[in-house]
A and B are shown apart, each in its own frame.
Chain A
């Protein structure tokens, strides 16, 4: 993708999401992160548990009130938006697919009502027949059939439930979808089915994705660009090939070196890189700096030459 001319759909700048502010157990779940997402791309957020990736997603879709910072969607500020109509439009444009297909569907609602809830709220159906038709079309889009509409969630397998969750997200014709670990609760053979479905939908409907996951090989596979989160801070951002093939930050390197690969010979010779989190003690002010074009690393001013050297030694052209 041509990044220089791409349109920014989402601009997150200096987002902070703290919990229990001012109390002894204050948690800085997301601590001053900035990134942009371009139209039609998939942006992958990776990080270990507790790194703040889910919190970031939830703050963007306005499930939390961010402590400070700015989130712009199509140029409009979301934080503190007062206009009800605009808010409803935003909620329609941005949808979420959740991690746990068992917990995210109401067990007492039929599939057709789960899928059509957004249609009802936004008055998108002209009459009952139209509503049923829209539901049937949505189910067909995600690979289920129309008989499934009158069943309850417990009658479906994990992979099928995740398809229902995807149909629900698509019902209001969103432009942007946040997928929070959408496949980690599924079996390997089913994961590939769901990922292929998401890719197909993105192609057909020009969707933009924020894909949150801890499975690094799956994130690399699905994403155009990737951001690496650690302790609530963004340490590295770049195209997925760049981040995986030429990781610049030590944390990214250690994370990648820990990924098990289904290749016994590789595994026998693998060396794991250790990472010392003391590096991020906060004694220096660090910001994302563009080391290689479109490849950012969090560093302080005096660390820039070190990363530039590192990039050069990998044969990259330094910005």
Chain B
């Protein structure tokens, strides 16, 4: 798998927004790290703080945002302490971003070749001819057909899927260490989405970029991520490897998310839904923010916020249900099925391990 080198470390990040209505506590103590070459998916509903988190990594927070505390370590430097000038050297060079809407993230008045070449000219000082030649290479890499003839076309001459390929080409032209993809396929049709996701996987293998993938679509997460962080109301409530989150989830919110999506083999009958709506972050509730919507809530949930409990070396969840004194609860049926699969997979892995060990001994 990937090497273990950590390139980004977010520590106890807290971000507020000052609005007319009061202070919105958008990010409430978020910590995670990103390793070289891996894909970390951040999942959550709108307003859970996924986008704000990544914007803070890019130094792109709005003017009314206040960083209350925390650090964002990129290599040895804290992104939050960087000057505008230093940030400009970072954005588009070391850290690049793909936005949700390919229709609005391109300049409609600039030819696409020029748009792809621009980051090279700005960050690396490459001369125009050379930059355009590299842009052409990049267009071929991201699968734009007939690139030689299309390099001088304008964005409106391309379809949505092709435009997203152009956006990816712009983001990758400087071979960034981190690529932030904020709902990159939400605006696209499923067949186009599948193409773009394949492309991102291929390119990641080729240039070994780390990807932070933001989405609300758990199906996309299952196909893209090495690790997953689930966010709710400005906090990470559970994180682990993709198998741990999908086959052995521990947080009731993750349970709710997984069982409220019909899969292609869900039969009719009631969908398990999460009742209620997310809390107002102007005035976050005391205790666990999910308690009011949580059918498994304990008394302590309304009084004290749960800390992270360790499930495995890579898997943590912030729910009091994991406390040794907590009562045993039965998760939704769909989750029990998933856990059964997890147990089977682990057993298989152990046997595989045993066989390998025996072979080694011989």
Contact = CB atoms under 8 A, between A and B. Distances in A.
Interface of A: 48-49, 157, 159-160, 187-193, 195-196, 199, 214, 216-218, 220-221, 244, 254-268, 270, 272, 275
A258 B45 CA distance: 23
B190 A191 contact: no
Given A217-B262, A262-B263, A189 B274 contact: yes
A90 to B, nearest CB: 30
B242 interface: yes
Given A159-B277, A189-B45, A192-B261, 19 more contacts: A187-B45, A189-B257, A190-B273, A192-B260, A192-B271, A192-B273, A199-B270, A214-B190, A217-B264, A218-B262, A220-B262, A221-B262, A255-B191, A258-B191, A260-B193, A262-B219, A265-B345, A268-B223, A272-B194
Given A260-B217, A262-B222, A220 B264 contact: yes
A195 B222 contact: no
A48 B271 CA distance: 25
Contact of B191 (A157, A189, A254, A264): A254
B260 A260 contact: no
A220 B217 CA distance: 17
Contacts of A157: 277
A261 B222 contact: yes
B273 A189 contact: yes
B258 interface: yes
B177 interface: no
A261 B264 contact: yes
Given A260-B220, A262-B221, A48 B189 contact: yes
A216 B194 CA distance: 14
B126 to A, nearest CB: 36
Nearest to B221: A262
B256 interface: yes
A261 B263 contact: yes
Interface of chain B: mostly helix, strand, loop or mixed: helix
B266 interface: yes
A263 B263 contact: yes
Contact of B266 (A187, A190, A216, A217): A217
Contact of B263 (A159, A191, A217, A264): A217
B80 interface: no
Interface string B245-285: 01100000000111011111010101111110100000000
A259 B246 CA distance: 17
Contacts of B271: 192, 195-196, 221
A267 to B, nearest CB: 4
A211 to B, nearest CB: 13
| 8 A-B pairs with the lowest CB-CB distances in the bound complex, closest first | A260-B219, A192-B273, A267-B223, A221-B262, A192-B260, A189-B274, A48-B189, A262-B218
Contact of A214 (B189, B197, B261, B277): B189
A215 B336 CA distance: 25
Contacts of B2: none
Given A187-B45, A218-B262, A259 B242 contact: no
B31 to A, nearest CB: 24
Contacts, number: 115
Nearest to B243: A264
Contacts of A258: 190-191, 193-194
B9 interface: no
A255 B194 CA distance: 10
Interface string B213-237: 0001111111100000000000000
B260 A188 contact: yes
A261 B260 contact: no
Contacts of B243: 264-265
A270 B201 CA distance: 14
A275 B189 CA distance: 14
Contacts of A255: 190-191
A38 to B, nearest CB: 17
B261 A188 contact: yes
B356 to A, nearest CB: 21
A4 to B, nearest CB: 21
Contacts of A214: 189-190
Instruction: From A191, A192, A262, name the one whose CB has the most chain B CB atoms within 10 angstroms.
Output: A262
Instruction: From B217, B246, B271, name the one whose CB has the most chain A CB atoms within 10 angstroms.
Output: B271
B352 interface: no
B219 A261 contact: yes
Nearest to A260: B219
Nearest to B258: A262
16 contacts: A49-B189, A187-B216, A188-B45, A190-B277, A191-B260, A192-B274, A217-B263, A255-B191, A260-B217, A260-B223, A262-B261, A263-B263, A264-B246, A265-B243, A272-B194, A272-B198
A187 B253 CA distance: 14
Contacts of B221: 262
B194 A189 contact: no
A216 B190 CA distance: 9
B230 to A, nearest CB: 12
B277 A256 contact: no
